[in-house]
Chains A and B, each alone.
Chain A
Amino acid sequence: MNFSLTVGLPHYLLVGAMLFCFGLYGVFSKKNAIAVLMSLELMLNAVNINLIAFNRFLWNNPVEGTKHLLLNGHVSAIFVIVVAAAEVAVGLALVISIYRSRLSANVDELDWLKW
């Protein structure tokens, strides 16, 4: 491997993979529901980093016959951001509703069902 200071695709993918793993770890180890939702966001942002890095480094091609660039990855990232926001909004609303009935936001205490 070439250890020069040039930042290239592998570095971005590494950051993405790290974020994804932190997020995955956080989802299954955090007690507080809000922290779990934050970990989820980390995972989705890892996806965004991947999409944009791939677009920038590998598929930065112009649309045929024009000078505009193909921005598939960027557009995908916008969709991911928006949908993730909707998902987290519903998640927070559920946390509030559960908090109201139990006065706690700890995932550990969600033991009324078996899992």
Chain B
Amino acid sequence: MNAQYALLAPEITLAVVGLVIFSVGLLIPKGSRQGMVPLTVLGILVTMAVAGAQFFSNVNGSFLDGMYLADNYASFFKLLFLAAALLVVLSSTEYVQKLPAHRGEFYGLILFAALGMMVMAGSGDLITLYVGLELMTISFYVLVAYLSEDGKSGEAGLKYLILGAVSSAVLLYGVSFLYGLTGSTVITEIAAKLGSGMSPATILALLLVLAGFSFKISLIPFHMWAPDIYEGAPVPITAYLAVASKAAGFAALVRVMLVGLKAQALDGNVAVALAVLIGLTMIAGNLMAIPQKNFKRMMAYSSISQAGYIAVGLLAGTPDGVKGVLFYSMIYVFANMGAFTVATVVSTAQGSDEIKDFAGLARRSPLAAVVMTVSLLSMAGIPPLAGFVGKFYLFKALLDQGWVPLVFIAFVMSMVSVYYYLLVTRTMYMEEGADLPKIGVSGATKFTLLVTMLVTLFLGIYPSPLAKMATIAAASLFR
């Protein structure tokens, strides 16, 4: 009994840290809430150590008859979520100082959102998955609406809540049919009971589940929420939403689709439908990003197209494809966090996040401009940056499965994305921005910028450590 609970060590640690952060926020009198950041960072680092220990000592166990799994796949994603949370906390210290009230809870909510994502990655049971999903999204509803003075933020929060709740309800409705068909909510048992059967009810359940998840990862017909919510939310939270919440959606979706419903999801017609959606996502995401004037809206469309690239690995359905998903999600964390940290710096200094506000950033803050350029080019997939390697793994896995037209679309659209990423770079380097202030970055923000840039460069030149980790993690999914 006790040995089993050791499998939950990362989750328990993070839950305790989150509760402690909340309690500390209450105990310290208002106005003098210092020391929250070091405490949060320490808590995340400890949890990372625990999750890392599980990954590197190859802990692969299941808990409560397969309802909860602690395998390398889950551990890999846990490290990803914690890295994202860490970068968000570090990059938002100055931003949070400007908030009028409730600064302490900001960090607590970030931790609870990360906890929800970890539960999602580890759950082998659909109801556990749902609880983790809701823990994550409810934390996000509050975080998105955090700027209580700013009407846009509250509005974005309510919109996200309504659409998020609808998508969860759709997902659950699908889950209820899966339960009706198999008498179980455990993913492996569902796979065993369904076999390769393909009844209309199975297809209905599959489509409902797919629709519910597509919302979370913003696949095309369910993407409308992303630009609005990204624009309204506080900048660090937009980054967290784009990176971690999307990765969590993929973590759960890949497990459900490739372990539970593989025979159904990757069968002829459903796979073709999925491929069409992915193709549309890449095309529309990239094309709609081009005319955007607001940086966060542009990044929203960019993140929609990125979801298309990552979903390519899911469609491949092989260990190689999952490896691509894992690898790309991880480097996407660093590339996106780099870009958004720069956006946070600019929006803290200038109170706005239009693309024209970045004018002359190369002169005003060279480091920020360089980090932004590296991050954007990595997302566009320019060698020798990490994004190139990630896209290579993904497209290669898909090509092995014979989806040549889709790979072609993905490739062309990556080229298109270079255009709008370079527009931002051009604004930073070519335009004057004479009347805009000089921006100094310091402390935690500088650290975040350097870390994200170095990781992106390093993994582009020498990807094998992360690639090896991703291979191990992907293998544990298919055991």
Contacts and interface: CB of A to CB of B under 8 A. Distances in A.
A and B, direct touch (CB closer than 8 Å)? yes
Interface of A: 16, 20, 23-24, 27, 33, 36-37, 40, 43-44, 46-47, 50-51, 54-55, 58-59, 61, 70, 72-73, 75-76, 79-80, 83, 86-87, 90-91, 94-95, 97-98, 101-102, 107, 110, 112-115
Given A70-B183, A101-B151, 10 more contacts: A27-B166, A33-B162, A43-B173, A47-B175, A54-B179, A58-B180, A73-B179, A101-B148, A112-B152, A115-B227
A83 B134 contact: yes
Given A58-B183, A73-B179, A110-B159, A101 B169 contact: no
5 contacts: A40-B169, A54-B180, A72-B183, A94-B157, A113-B156
Interface in B1-35: none
B475 interface: no
B142 A50 contact: no
A98 B151 contact: yes
B155 A113 contact: yes
Contacts of B154: 94, 97-98, 101
Given A24-B166, A80-B130, A91 B161 contact: yes
B162 A87 contact: no
A74 to B, nearest CB: 11
Contact of B130 (A36, A73, A83): A83
Contacts of B166: 24, 27, 40, 43
A76 B156 contact: no
Contacts of B183: 54, 58-59, 61, 70, 72
B180 A79 contact: no
Contacts of A110: 155, 158-159
B131 interface: yes
B177 interface: yes
A86 B185 CA distance: 22
Given A43-B169, A51-B176, A94 B145 contact: yes
B151 A87 contact: no
Given A72-B183, A114-B227, A50 B176 contact: yes
B136 to A, nearest CB: 12
Nearest to A54: B180
A32 B185 CA distance: 35
B58 interface: no
Contacts of A87: 134, 138, 141, 161, 165, 168
Contacts of A24: 166
A76 B158 contact: no
Given A23-B169, A47-B172, A98 B158 contact: yes
B228 A115 contact: yes
A37 B151 CA distance: 20
Contact of B127 (A43, A76, A94): A76
A98 B147 CA distance: 11
Contacts of B161: 87, 90-91, 94
B172 A80 contact: yes
Nearest to B179: A54
Nearest to A47: B172
In this complex, the interface size class of chain B, counting residues with CB under 8 Å from chain A, is 35 or more
Contacts of B127: 75-76, 79-80
Contacts of B158: 33, 91, 94-95, 98, 107, 110
Nearest to B224: A115
Contacts of A47: 169, 172-173, 175-176
B162 A40 contact: yes
A70 B138 CA distance: 30
B153 to A, nearest CB: 10
A62 to B, nearest CB: 13
A87 B148 CA distance: 19
Given A90-B138, A94-B157, A97-B148, A72 B177 contact: no
B151 A112 contact: yes
The 4 closest A-B pairs by CB, nearest first: A54-B180, A50-B176, A43-B169, A59-B183
A20 B127 CA distance: 19
A48 B141 CA distance: 24
A95 to B, nearest CB: 7
B71 interface: no
Contacts of B180: 50, 54, 58
Nearest to A28: B166
B231 to A, nearest CB: 6
B173 A50 contact: yes
Given A110-B158, A115-B225, A54 B141 contact: no
A46 B224 CA distance: 25
B155 A40 contact: no
